[in-house]
Amino acid sequence: MNNYNTFYIVKIAMIAAVGGFLFGFDTGVIGGAQLYFTEYFELTPGQQGWAVGSALYGCLVGALVAGYLTKAISRKFTLVLSALLFCVSAWGSGYAGSLTELVVYRIIGGVGIGFASMAAPMYIAEISPAEQRGKMVSLYQLSIVLGFFVVFLATYYIGGGNALESSADKLAAVHQENLSRGWRIMFWSELLPAGIFLVMLFFVPHSPRWLVIKGRHDQAGSVLAKLYVDKTDADKQLAEIKTSINKSTFGSNTKALAGGLAFAIFIGVMLSVFQQITGINAILYYGAEIFSNALGYGPQDALKQQLWLGAVNLIFTFVAIFTVDLWGRKPLYLIGTLGMFLGLASLGFTIYTQQLGIVSLISILVFIGSFAMSMGPVVWVVLSEMFPNRIRSFAMAIAVGGQWLFNGVVANFFPVVNRSEINEQLFNGALPYFIFAFFCVIAFLFVWRFMPETKGKSLEEIENVWDTP
């Protein structure tokens, strides 16, 4: 019999995970909307990359600032701020009358995503029992891909649904409607989940570990008493948290960049970087354009094909949820990274040889499914649990900041590389996918050699992996 209140833990974890839903929704909406606002604003490839990638630099700022906020005002109130920023961004992006306005509101939303990407997995990890922590934090990744799937459905139907069965005049009318108003509605559709998230956050408690850091031990004990069935277990957990946080502390965060902790932060940063430079968000951001240009689909049908991406992403995330605490973080990561390499290499080959068709589509889906069962959730799980309590906010800010920095770099440069003369003349459009496949190999070797296994260990036990003082 479990010694913790499963229903209560799952409930508050799911509320925090809505931050991931908005992360996925906001990221996914750009994939459909950019098909139309690129034409509406007559953007160059560089401007298109800036419009798509600008939010990601906001994410970088948000993640770095969240390192301070999650410690200063709590994980919970950092999530509240993120919900407010999501609302402002959704309204403003749909209202934008110029590229500059659109970029400003996308950056605001990016800051909100940065806050959520730091605070949500951290909060979930800190309220979850060790043997269920991987599954609970994976709810955050599930929410991200659920957000992708829902927004792909929304943009598909807002964009005209199965319009290819219509006449040429109807197609032209649908396209014109999307140019003038459809892409704005795609952005505004985020207002509903953002508002719901904001309200629900007022019904979750503070993280007990944050409360102990702030010296609010009685309140921490009250939260733990709700998380655990037996008061003895709650008291024992509180004592372990106090011991962890009361260990000899560093004089400043910069002193954490020494010894084993420096290596832990290095691993965290590299996991974040690999999650981006292996191409997942290039496929998700530009999926409609890839289907439209590289694979020969029309705009409306390209939106329909994106539903396959969202569905596979969602299904294989459940594989991760049910295996991450059973198989472990490292085996799942390695298996998935191998699948990502095979999918990208196969896709690149079909584009290079111009043998486009069902194999190309299956290759993309293999890549998406492999990412969803491995690199997607595993990175968030490991980042949320690998750092000691007293420096978790600081260390996660560095690691997640690296993730958003390279997310932005990939988003900005993908359309430039994709439309470059070298890619078109020497690789027939396949160069980006070969580059991503190469980085999958590097990620596999790095994790196989350096990443420790954290399955089944309490957050306090994981500290010993790094031999911290």
What does the pLDDT look like over 336-390, one tens digit per residue?
999 999 999 998 998 888 887 778 888 888 999 999 999 989 998 999 888 887 7
Which 8-state DSSP code applies to residue 249?
Answer: P
Burial category of 267 from C-beta neighbours within 10 Å (exposed 0-12, middle 13-18, buried 19 and up): buried
**Mean per-residue pLDDT for 435-447?**
96
Q: Is residue 216 part of a domain?
A: yes
**Structural domain for 239, as ranges:** 6-466
Judge contact between 166 and 174, C-beta under 8 A: yes
Q: Which residue has the higher pLDDT, 55 or 285?
A: 55
Mean pLDDT of the chain: 84
Looking at residue 250, what is its pLDDT?
45
CA distance 68 to 70: 6
Looking at residue 255, what is its pLDDT?
54
Judge contact between 304 and 125, C-beta under 8 A: no
Judge contact between 319 and 37, C-beta under 8 A: no
Q: Is residue 19 part of a domain?
A: yes
State the alpha helices, DSSP H only, in 324-391: 329-352, 358-372, 375-385
Q: What is the pLDDT of residues 444-465, one digit of tens each?
A: 999 999 998 888 887 777 777 7
Looking at residue 38, what is its pLDDT?
86
Q: Which of 123-132, 231-240, 255-264 has the lowest mean pLDDT?
A: 255-264
Q: Is residue 58 part of a domain?
A: yes
Looking at residue 98, what is its pLDDT?
92
Looking at residue 165, what is its pLDDT?
59
> DSSP assignment of 46-86, as one string?
HHHHHHHHHHHHHHHHHHHHHHHHHHHT-HHHHHHHHHHHH
Domain count, the chain: 1
User: pTM, whole model, 2 decimals?
Assistant: 0.80
Q: What is the CATH number of the domain that holds 361?
A: 1.20.1250.20
Looking at residue 331, what is its pLDDT?
94
**Mean per-residue pLDDT for 96-121?**
93
Q: Is residue 356 part of a domain?
A: yes
CA distance 73 to 369: 37
Report which listed range, 161-170, 209-218, 274-283, is most confident: 209-218
* CA 225, 77, 214, 125 torsion-angle sign: positive
Residue 347 tokens read as 């896709």
Looking at residue 247, what is its pLDDT?
63
Give, in degrees to the nearest 5, the angle at Cα 331 between 121 and 1: 65
Task: Report which residue type is found at 274.
Answer: F
Q: Is residue 1 part of a domain?
A: no
Q: What is the pLDDT of residues 20-32, one digit of tens each?
A: 999 888 877 877 7
Q: Which residue has the higher pLDDT, 457 or 273?
A: 273
